[in-house]
Amino acid sequence: MIGPAIDRRALLGGFAGFTAATLPRTTRAAPLPLVEVAPGLFVHVGVHQDFSPGNRGGIANLALIVGGEAVAVVDAGGSPAQARDFLEAIAARTDRPVRHAILTHHHPDHVMGAAVFRAIGARIWGHARLEAALLDRFTTYRAAMERLLGAAIAGAEPVPVEESVAVETPRRVDLGGRVLELRAWPTAHTDCDLTVLDTATGTLIAGDLLFLERIPVIDGSLLGWLRVMDELARIPARLVVPGHGPASAPWPEALASQRRYLEDLAAAVRRAIARGRSLSTLLAEPPPAGDWLLSSDDHPRNITAAYKELEWE
């Protein structure tokens, strides 16, 4: 998910104005289901929906990696309520402490639960540009999420990024006999995308650099994303955990559908620009979105983003 749609809804819908102190604790949903996609690497699969009180922001995939001494989570959930349920599910799997919370980028479905992990002492990791991106958008995101999710969002706070990762300077996190490699990327899905490679199992946790099933959303650069995908494809992994989609998929084959969508989008928009068609004309007769889920809002937004980027080529 990305900012502009949420910003728009926030502006249209207003602000509920409640605070954490006045809200009851939200009713517990069923325990957060986790799928073990590789030994000691668990994924919670987000639902393919827009934000709603029923899903409590749980629309993105979340990962949990258990090492010999410590646990890392990759992404913190779409609300503190979901993060608390994630913690409960973690406690049912391991008694090792959650020492690291790695955030793949600043979109609310990935970070709104981060304060819950900070409160239990987890160190917050992210792209070198993540903290600025969080500060830039957090207030707007939270106001929108209060309206869209209700009580589940109570307690959401921006977190300081204590361990930052610069582009082209990967960092390693040792969980005790299990090393994660963190890489920050040039602007692609957003300007603060980060991936995690679990070297023990050859599993790449791609965040929203990879969408499966749910339509990819451009909040950074279409051409940048295609370039980053070329580099991603060279990562020696066996499996990938996408930011949205199934718990895991074969790597690098899983890149194919997203690459096709983004390449087709670039080609269609370039053709339109070459023929002198305006953006509004193109949006009136958009190129097909294919079989992607939730494309009715996000495909036109991608066309708009692509047009604005490519008209200056």
Q: Which residues bind Zn ion (CB under 5 A)?
A: 107, 208
Q: Which amino acid is at 263?
A: E
- Estimate to the nearest angstrom the gap between the alpha carbon of 97 and the chain centroid: 24
Tokens of 230: 């070329």
Q: Which of 194, 180, 192, 195 is nearest to 72 (CA)?
A: 180
Judged by beta carbon, residue 137 or residue 178, the one nearer Zn ion is 137
CB of 1 to Zn ion, least distance (A): 6
Helices (H), the chain: 3-13, 80-93, 108-111, 114-119, 130-149, 222-232, 256-274, 279-284, 295-310
Report CA dihedral (63, 149, 28, 245) to the nearest 10 degrees.
-30
CB of 134 to Zn ion, least distance (A): 13
DSSP for 99-149?
A: EEEE-S-S-HHHHTTHHHHHHTTPEEEEETTHHHHHHHHHHHHHHHHHHHH
Judged by beta carbon, residue 208 or residue 298, the one nearer Zn ion is 208
Judged by beta carbon, residue 198 or residue 219, the one nearer Zn ion is 219
Judged by beta carbon, residue 71 or residue 249, the one nearer Zn ion is 249
Judged by beta carbon, residue 198 or residue 208, the one nearer Zn ion is 208
Q: Which of 155, 161, 96 is nearest to 134 (CA)?
A: 161
Judged by beta carbon, residue 133 or residue 272, the one nearer Zn ion is 133
Q: Buried (b) or exposed (e) across 186-207, using 16+ Cβ within 10 A? A: ebbbbbbbbbbbbebbebbbbb
CB of 99 to Zn ion, least distance (A): 25
Judged by beta carbon, residue 112 or residue 273, the one nearer Zn ion is 112
Q: Is the peptide bond before 31 cis (omega within 30 degrees of 0)?
A: no
CB of 128 to Zn ion, least distance (A): 18
CB of 305 to Zn ion, least distance (A): 13
The 3-state DSSP class for residue 166 equals strand
CB of 105 to Zn ion, least distance (A): 6
Residue 209 near residue 70 (C-beta atoms within 8 A): no
CB of 106 to Zn ion, least distance (A): 8
Residue found by looking up tokens 């020696």 in the block = 236
Judged by beta carbon, residue 60 or residue 152, the one nearer Zn ion is 60
CB of 85 to Zn ion, least distance (A): 21
